[in-house]
Chain A
Amino acid sequence: MMFRHSSNHRSVTTAPWQLVCGLALGIASGLAGCGTGPKAEFSYREATQKLIPVARKAIKDTLEDGFGTPHNLVAWERFPVAYGGAKASVVAAAEGVQPASKTISVSVEGDVSKLVSGASVLWLTGTRAGEKAAADTVDTYDTKTKTLTWSGSAEPAPGVGDVLIVGFGHALQKGRAVYMKNCMHCHGVSGDGNGSTAQFLNPRPRDYRLGVFKFTSTLSAEKVSRDDLHRVVKYGIPGTYMPSFLLLGEEETKSVVEYVRWLAMRGEFEKRTDDDLGDFTEDSIVDTVKKSKTAFDAAKVAYDATLKAGDKDAVKPDAPIKLTDARKSATEAFAKFQASDLDQAVEDTASFLAEAWTRADDEASRIAPTVPRVADDAASRERGRLLYMSDKTKCYTCHGLLGKGNGAATEDFWKKPGTEELYPRRGLHDAWGNPLQPRNLTLGQYRGGRRPVDVFRRLYAGIKGTPMPGFGKTALKDEEIWDIVNFVMSLQYQSPQPAKTNAGGHVVATDMPEAK
């Protein structure tokens, strides 16, 4: 466990997670060698791996600096993660003992039980703050007299009013333990949705590294809130392999939510930094060389032609850029960039993420209907059905005329976002590139929760990372959204009306709104 305080980094504690091997398993795999599992490592994005070596190294260093490794987490203070620990401030230095004793009396806000022998002590302000007091730990804490002694150097002595955190990073470490035990085998060590069981699952486990979560209560531009993640961990996502962890307990759930948020921040930080360094990829170098070669070839043809024509003054075209030279110049350009702009880019990304994740928990980011649910009667459902069929929402194009999730859009080939390339498969895809089935609304299965407000929020802000758009504020009024909610939630209980047929068995009327 490390702590990152602006530019000061300091080690707090290290508690490597180890895979404990069960007795039965130990006997079964005794020959294969069992004991500790493979060392947990954070993986890097494909985009990171494609960068030129210097850029790749810069990103990996930045990530390790800011987030550490699974065995040695770094808590980057500027990210809005509840890293845990009990905050205390110095009330008085103990008197009478000279030279400077390592005893202070403190007032503790928060959990006093964190003040156990061996817990880390982190000085936030005062003379001890910073690099020097790196190895301070609690020696003893007397709950009656509220005096704390620390082990570590005695000098410099802390002053009255200095703030310290005991057991900093406790929550993140706990989150890691819970995550490794319950989540890692699907969501992966890095939260890349690529754990060992992930390959057997459809839908795939969430890859947190885009910083995008589907089922949120927040506006469409906002991140997921803590409450949303908490709900998902507690109640699971029906229709997927995400089970309910209701009996995990409040503290463990909270800490694992923090850890998941932290992994998401790490992942998105990497992605955004990758995007910043998009020019320094191996591919772009090869591309430059290729282009230069093509340009040279064209110029060469022209040159030869002019020579043949007897023009002695023709200018010989410049030789094409060699791959080695291109690499060299890219490396030089990166060195320049690293010296001048990289820190700022990292800084910008970090502050962008910190703000976005802080905003997610703001009351203002949460979608709250401005009107209560419209009475769920036949009239409302009918209004909802007409809206569902209207060109204003186009719900039916994906979810189908009968809400079975088989709309025409599922038969089309769709473009990969940002490219002209088509997905190899028909149908919709999500932001992670996985095939996506529009929800069959007749099953009564609500992945984001079955409360009316949940369905309202899906319609208001859409589902992040998917083609499901949001209609709130712009296309639909809250009352209209409620009408659609009433219609959609009634679908489960309606048997599709048998089409009226005439004597010959031909359909004479369909359940469609009149064309306007």
Chain B
Amino acid sequence: MKKILIVDDATTVRKYERQLVEEMGFGAEEAINGIEALEKILNERFDLLLVDINMPKMNGYELVREIRKNPELMEIPVVMISTEASQEDKIKAYEAGANFYIVKPIRPETLRSLLNILC
């Protein structure tokens, strides 16, 4: 079964995304910030990352940049999730190495399409 890592510091957001992802037949794991996410990614394989931008300790941009630097991890598809649809944030996300950028709150149909394309 394919596995998604949900990275967000808000508990209900993680719960919600988990529900969506599991309903679509994927497995899900959670991390509350970029450092925890990195530790999980280094220990097991994930097919896609859903990454919030604003998190303590290591934010979304920093996490994706780290991942892209690591030859073992650089291929993992990343969907960056923002609270505001700003052009600058979008550009920053792609520059950091995200594959896709979407704005919260996540709609099930959007997530379904992305998961189908990316993993």
Same complex: no
